[in-house]
Amino acid sequence: MAEPAIKGSERLRSDKEEAYAQERAFGYRMCEAARRAGLNDRTGIQTKYEVKPRVQARITFLRRDDQTNEMHQAKRRHLEERLELVAFGSLFEYTDIDPKGGAPKINWQRLANSDLAQTVNEFRMDKDTGTVVQFRRDDALSAISQLREMRGYKAADRHAHLLLGRNIDQLTDEELLRIASAPPVTIDAVAEELPPLPPPQKDDCR
C-alpha cells in the first residue's frame, strides 16, 4: 500500500527522522546530517531515510523557511561551528608519541570517530600496506580569516592609507588607477608615514 501524500508541515513522529530532516534542511550532506542527528552513518541509515517520502517531504518543507531570520541564524551558527573546528581543532589530540623513538603517529581510529574527522579533506594510502602516507586537512588560517570577516573583523583595506584625507568622488580615473596598482602596504611602510612620537618627558616626581 502506497504511503499517503504528506505535506511535510507536521513534525515527524520519529525523533531520529525529524532530527535527520532538520540537519538536511540546513544543507549538510547525508552522512554528516546523520552524524549530527546522533545516528551511525556507517550503517547506511541515511540512505534509507532519503528514500522515505515523509522524510523527503519534511526536508522540502523545512527548506522553504530558508529566507527566515531563524534559518539564517541557524545556518550561520553551523557555519561558524564548522570553521571553528578547522581553525582551532588540534590533531595532537589524536596523536600518539612513540616512547622509544619519539616519532608521532596519528591514531586514525580515534580521529575517524571524532568531530575533527570532517576537516581531513584528502588522504593517500600505500597500495601494498594500506597505510596512510599522506593527508591534508582544511586550512586553519583560511578558516580564521573567514571567521574574522563573518564577525566583522575585516582586515584594513590595503589602499586605505592612500585615500586618507581625499574625496574619492573627486579623483580622476588616472589617480584611481594609480592607487589600485599600488603594491600592498606593510606595517613598516605605514609606520614610516606616521609622524615620530615626541621624546619622553622627564619625570619630576621624587
Give the SS3 label for residue 133.
strand
Is the pTM here over 0.75, yes or no?
no
Q: For the chain, how long is the longest CA-to-CA vector?
A: 97
Instruction: Tell me what pLDDT residue 183 has.
Output: 61
User: Is residue 135 in some structural domain?
Assistant: yes
In a domain, 76, yes or no: no
Q: What is the mean pLDDT of residues 84-97?
A: 87
**Would residue 200 count as lying in a domain?**
no
205 domain residue, yes or no: no
| Whether residues 146 and 89 fall in one domain | yes
User: Given this model, what pLDDT does residue 53 score?
Assistant: 93
**What domain range includes position 120?**
85-150
Same domain? For 55 and 6 the reply is: yes
**What average pLDDT does this structure show over 17-41?**
89
Higher pLDDT, 55 or 77: 55
> What average pLDDT does the segment 166-170 reach?
62
Quick check: helix, strand or coil at residue 152?
coil
Q: What is the pLDDT of residues 127-164, one digit of tens each?
A: 888 787 788 888 888 888 888 887 777 554 555 555 55
Predicted confidence at residue 190, as pLDDT, reads 46
Count of domains for the chain: 3
Q: What is the pLDDT of residue 202?
A: 60
Mean per-residue pLDDT for 176-184? 63
Question: Are 62 and 1 members of one domain?
Answer: yes
Residue at 172 is within a domain: yes
> Looking at the structure, do residues 166 and 141 belong to the same domain, yes or no?
no
1 lies in the same domain as 52 = yes
Provide the pLDDT for residue 54. Answer: 93
Q: Quick check: is 203 in a domain?
A: no
6 and 48 housed in the same domain: yes
pLDDT higher than threshold 60 for residue 197: no
Are residue 94 and residue 63 in the same domain, yes or no?
no
Could you tell me if residue 72 is inside a domain?
no
DSSP string, 12-59: PSSHHHHHHHHHHHTT--HHHHHHHTT--GGGTHHHHHHT-HHHHHHH
**For position 203, what pLDDT does the model report?**
53
